Structure 1
Amino acid sequence: MRHKSLRFGKGFRTAFAVRKMQAAEMVLAPGDSEGDADNRHRGADQWLYVVSGRGVAIVEGERVPLKAGTLLVVEKRERHEIRNTGRTLLKTLNFYYPPAFGSRGDPIGPGRQR
């Protein structure tokens, strides 16, 4: 068993990985975004759960509103961007299958970005 208390500090930070799954926290300030029209994970699905805040996900050109309690799955190879459109921090918990990032947030393995 492993456990960790998440801090949800600004930016992207991996929590840990087990076997073929990885958890990470991402916090975006108002007006900030992560990704762009070419951002995609070559071999990893990304499950994104909104802890707090408001934003929008743009996945393959489709806009999905984000708010606390929203669960979104971005499948491997789908182009995507996450934007904070609110006035407070957008805090998300993300799961990658398989792991897509190293401990410093750098893309790794089959899940790495393309």
Structure 2
Amino acid sequence: MRSKSLRFGEGFRVAFDVRKAQAAEMVLAPGASEGGADNRHRGADQWLYVVSGSGVAIVEGRRVPLKAGTLLVIERRERHEVRNTGRTLLKTLNFYTPPAFDAQGDPVGPGRS
């Protein structure tokens, strides 16, 4: 068993991973975005849960509104971007299956872009 208290400081931070899954926190400032038209995870699904704030996810050209309580799954190979369209920090908790990033947030393994 493992546990960790999350800080939700700005940016992307891997919390920890186990053999087949990974947890990470992502915090975007108002007006900021992560990803884009060429962003995808070839071997990993991304489950994104909005803790607080508001924004929009653009997945394969389709816009999905984001607000506290939204759960979104971005399947492997789907191109995507997450944007903070609100006035406060957009805080998300993300799970990747299998793990997609190293401790520094760089893509690794089958989840590599």
TM-score range, shorter chain: over 0.9
Consecutive unaligned residues in structure 1, runs of 5 or more: none
2:24 aligned partner: 24
1:64 aligned partner: 64
Report deviation, 1:105.
0.3
Q: Is 1:46 paired with 2:46?
A: yes
The superposition leaves residues 51-87 of structure 1 with CA deviations (integer Å, 9 ceiling, x where unpaired) of: 0000000000000000000000000000000000000
Q: Which amino acid aligns with 1:29?
A: A
2:96 aligned partner: 96
SS of equivalent residue, structure 1 residue 16 = strand
1:3 aligned partner: 3
Give the superposed CA RMSD: 0.3
In structure 2, C-alpha distance between the alignment counterparts of 1:23 and 1:112, rounded to whole Å = 16
SS of equivalent residue, structure 1 residue 110 = helix
In structure 1, C-alpha distance between the alignment counterparts of 2:107 and 2:18, rounded to whole Å = 17
In structure 2, C-alpha distance between the alignment counterparts of 1:91 and 1:58, rounded to whole Å = 17
Consecutive unaligned residues in structure 2, runs of 5 or more: none
In structure 2, C-alpha distance between the alignment counterparts of 1:73 and 1:109, rounded to whole Å = 20
Equivalenced residue count is 113
The superposition leaves residues 1-45 of structure 1 with CA deviations (integer Å, 9 ceiling, x where unpaired) of: 100000000000000001100000000000000000110001000
Moved over 6 A (4+): none
SS of equivalent residue, structure 1 residue 13 = strand
Report deviation, 1:112.
1.1
What TM-score, normalized to structure 1?
0.99
Q: Which amino acid aligns with 1:102?
A: D
2:76 aligned partner: 76
Report deviation, 1:50.
0.1
